[in-house]
Amino acid sequence: MSNIILNGVMGLVVADALGVPVEFKDRSILKTNPVTGMREYGTYNQPAGTWSDDSSMTLALADSLIKGLDYKDIMDNFIRWYDNGDFTPHGEAFDIGGTTREALFRYKKGVSPLECGGKNEHDNGNGSLMRILPILFYIQAIYGVDFQEGEEIFEIIHNISSLTHGHKRSLMACGIYISIASKLISEMDLSFSVWSGIYNAMEYYRSQEEFQCELKYFSRLEDKSFKDLPIEEIKSGGYVVDTLEAAIWCLLNTDSYKSCVLKAVNLGRDTDTVGAVVGGLAGLKYGYENIPDEWLSVIVKRGYIENLCNELLKTMQMQNS
Ligand SMILES: [Mg+2]
């Protein structure tokens, strides 16, 4: 059986690492000198294959889920990441988003985990979307591989987001993302998987009174011609809706892991996170074996990441049996 956890998580980590050296670069600059493979140094002066907070927080969540679903334990892992450099490539956290930093600060002050995430409109950066993927594997272990999205499942996804990002728009972005990710694991046609993932999630949100005022922010994704939008219409900064859109647009307009994540990174600006968000989906769709070897071979702590994925898979399979 292929290891879907390794597919998704390594897909995310590799694309994050592709984006790290060019984070904040404008699209116009990358157009004249596009990223075609792993670079070294650049924005954070890190060696090739260095991944960032997106991967660290994803690994921190995956590590915690091995022990079961415990929101406090996940927050403790996030603190271990930021304060001690656990779950990092070189023993030190070199970046963090503002909303995440504030949430960790609240947690240390004694606020309960599910109340730590910022709930203001400006707290809708992509900081929970970039690390939400591992909860899919927990949900599949508990509710089955082809689980039906329902209240209980969305509540878990929303809780995982709320640890750092508690605004409804961030919760919805995570819900839509996990819904798409779950469909990509099946053998269905790519665009059918994406559309059914979006459709199922949006049907749920439409049925919930509390999400009504947020539906409009996701309307472009529901439009069947979304894929055909010109690149100028796709923003790649840190706003969660832009990141989700950019990821889905890249996925729909490419046909391999490599072409998908390079398209994402070359959009510019928040290159590591747009890369990580789409990298997780592309990894699930195309599989670990389709991630280029020359990229995998430079990933820092590759063995550690693979072991962690294998360990989580083992635990999830035990839950299922
Ligand atoms: Mg990052």
Tens digits of pLDDT across the chain (321 residues): 469 999 999 999 999 999 999 999 999 999 999 999 999 988 888 899 999 999 999 999 999 999 999 999 999 999 999 999 999 999 999 889 999 999 999 999 999 999 999 999 999 999 999 999 999 999 999 998 888 889 999 999 999 999 999 999 999 999 999 999 999 998 789 999 999 999 999 999 999 999 999 999 999 999 989 999 999 999 999 999 999 999 999 999 999 999 999 999 999 999 999 999 999 999 999 999 999 999 999 999 999 999 999 999 999 988 766
* Residue written as token pair 């915690």: 64
Overall size of the chain counted in residues: 321
**pTM given for the model:** 0.97
Q: How many angstroms is it from 281 CA to the middle of ligand 1?
A: 17
CATH 1.10.8.50 fits 4-320, yes or no: no
Q: How many angstroms is it from 243 CA to the middle of ligand 1?
A: 13
CA distance 306 to 33: 32
Q: How many angstroms is it from 96 CA to the middle of ligand 1?
A: 7
Q: How many angstroms is it from 160 CA to the middle of ligand 1?
A: 18
**What's phi and psi for 165, nearest 5 deg?**
-130, 105
Q: How many angstroms is it from 53 CA to the middle of ligand 1?
A: 5
Paired residues of 239 in beta bridges = 125
4 neighbors 137 (Cβ within 8 angstroms): yes
Q: How many angstroms is it from 124 CA to the middle of ligand 1?
A: 16
139 neighbors 125 (Cβ within 8 angstroms): no
